[in-house]
């Protein structure tokens, strides 16, 4: 398999290592020679022990085009769409857009959705990798195994101080130096921790409650040193089939808390990520029974390996692209609801979510 990764930053390194662990041929592309040099001499060897000489590095202007099985688009969100349209023309079998797929302006979304129709053979995914992780799989197994009845409430939270992100980018002085410091570019708590909203939407969809129909958003915006980001993003949600719940994302909480809680008629299930550096957890409370806690060993590299395995399954035909829980439409919905959340805050009212840009 041949993989091309656009963006030699933090996520580009994760995907490069995951693809190499799958035995895939890897090419990495960046507009910035310093980023390519940093990948080879600092990030990759520090994270994974040594540079892998088989990885080919190219400036964007000199990149090979066409013939790739998978292209990962790991640039910042606000520069994703123009490149994504160009990559569609290359017709890889899979195109993975990193999360969030779009900044809250949703600029380029309708055009990209239309362009996808001209390339029906390209499976477009969005990199919400928690959805293909073992803890999520375990939650689904436990819902099936236990007779919990109807889902009554759903809550998801990604509350995590962004200090660790800055530790992984020591060349940045602060949020103002990167898209992270600008919510309109897809940064801030709403964009950077959009895994929370996406997890909420995932379970709502998979348990039959459909799309988010209405949203109330409350944001805590910060304007300092030229940056303009939300440090807290709070969303109250209701789906088209009446499921009510909420999402909280912030870049403040230490120690971090990343969870989903599903309250059923007959008990509850909790999904936890990063309980320790090497463990996730799933906690089940079936009414009348002892609590069951399942500890799932994992590593950071494995999180991206699982995503590469999922892509491998799509490439081999084991999973149909239309069945992938990280397919384009699901990821795009996250950006669409986040946009509506910001608008709700600005207009101080509940917003009905409009999906016409991806339904057209």
- Interface residues toward ligand NAD, by CB under 6 A: 6-12, 29-32, 35, 60, 74-77, 79, 83, 98-99, 127, 129, 169, 178, 192
Q: For the chain, how long is the longest CA-to-CA vector?
A: 64
Cβ proximity of 1 and 312 under 8 Å: yes
Minimal distance, residue 71 CB to ligand NAD, in Å: 12
Quick one: 267 or 310, whose CB is closer to ligand NAD?
310
Quick one: 28 or 234, whose CB is closer to ligand NAD?
28
Quick one: 80 or 321, whose CB is closer to ligand NAD?
80
Quick one: 35 or 340, whose CB is closer to ligand NAD?
35
Q: Nearest to ligand NAD by Cβ — which residue?
A: 9
Minimal distance, residue 186 CB to ligand NAD, in Å: 6
Minimal distance, residue 287 CB to ligand NAD, in Å: 35
Minimal distance, residue 2 CB to ligand NAD, in Å: 18
Quick one: 219 or 304, whose CB is closer to ligand NAD?
304
Q: What residues have CB less than 8 Å from 324, skipping those under 6 apart? A: 123, 125, 310, 314
Minimal distance, residue 25 CB to ligand NAD, in Å: 19
Peptide bond into 271 cis (omega under 30): no
The Cα–Cα gap between 214 and 58 comes to 44
Q: What residues have CB less than 8 Å from 125, skipping those under 6 apart? A: 94, 95, 96, 97, 311, 314, 321, 324, 326, 327, 328, 331
Quick one: 188 or 217, whose CB is closer to ligand NAD?
188
The Cα–Cα gap between 325 and 299 comes to 22
Peptide bond into 100 cis (omega under 30): yes
Q: What residues have CB less than 8 Å from 161, skipping those under 6 apart? A: 251, 252, 253, 254, 256
Minimal distance, residue 130 CB to ligand NAD, in Å: 8
């Amino acid at each position: 398999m041949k993989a091309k990764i656009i963006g030699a930053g933090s996520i580009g390194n994760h995907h490069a290592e995951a693809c190499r662990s799958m035995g895939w041929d890897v090419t990495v592309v960046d507009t910035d020679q310093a980023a390519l040099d940093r990948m080879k001499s600092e990030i990759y060897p520090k994270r994974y022990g040594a540079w892998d000489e088989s990885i080919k590095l190219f400036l964007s202007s000199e990149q090979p085009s066409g013939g790739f099985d998978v292209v990962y688009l790991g640039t910042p969100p606000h520069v994703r769409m123009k490149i994504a349209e160009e990559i569609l023309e290359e017709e890889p079998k899979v195109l993975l857009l990193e999360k969030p797929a779009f900044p809250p302006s949703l600029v380029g979304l309708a055009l990209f959705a239309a362009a996808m129709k001209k390339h029906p053979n390209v499976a477009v995914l969005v990199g919400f990798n928690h959805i293909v992780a073992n803890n999520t799989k375990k939650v689904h197994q436990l819902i099936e195994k236990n007779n919990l009845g109807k889902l009554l409430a759903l809550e998801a939270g990604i509350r995590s101080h962004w200090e660790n992100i800055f530790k992984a980018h020591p060349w940045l002085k602060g949020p103002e130096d990167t898209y992270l410091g600008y919510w309109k570019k897809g940064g801030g708590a709403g964009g950077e921790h959009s895994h929370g909203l996406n997890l909420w939407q995932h379970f709502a969809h998979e348990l039959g409650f459909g799309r988010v129909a209405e949203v109330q958003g409350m944001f805590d915006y910060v304007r300092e040193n030229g940056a303009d980001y939300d440090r807290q993003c709070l969303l109250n949600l209701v789906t088209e089939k009446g499921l009510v719940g909420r999402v909280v994302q912030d870049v403040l909480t230490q120690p971090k808390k990343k969870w989903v809680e599903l309250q059923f008629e007959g008990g509850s299930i909790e999904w936890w990520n990063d309980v320790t550096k090497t463990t996730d957890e799933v906690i089940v409370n079936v009414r009348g029974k002892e609590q069951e806690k399942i500890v799932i060993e994992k590593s950071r590299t494995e999180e991206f390996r699982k995503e590469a395995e999922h892509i491998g399954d799509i490439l081999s035909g084991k999973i149909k692209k239309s069945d992938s829980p990280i397919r384009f439409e699901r990821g795009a919905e996250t950006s669409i609801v986040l946009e509506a959340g910001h608008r709700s805050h600005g207009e101080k009212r509940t917003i009905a979510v409009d999906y016409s840009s991806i339904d057209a």
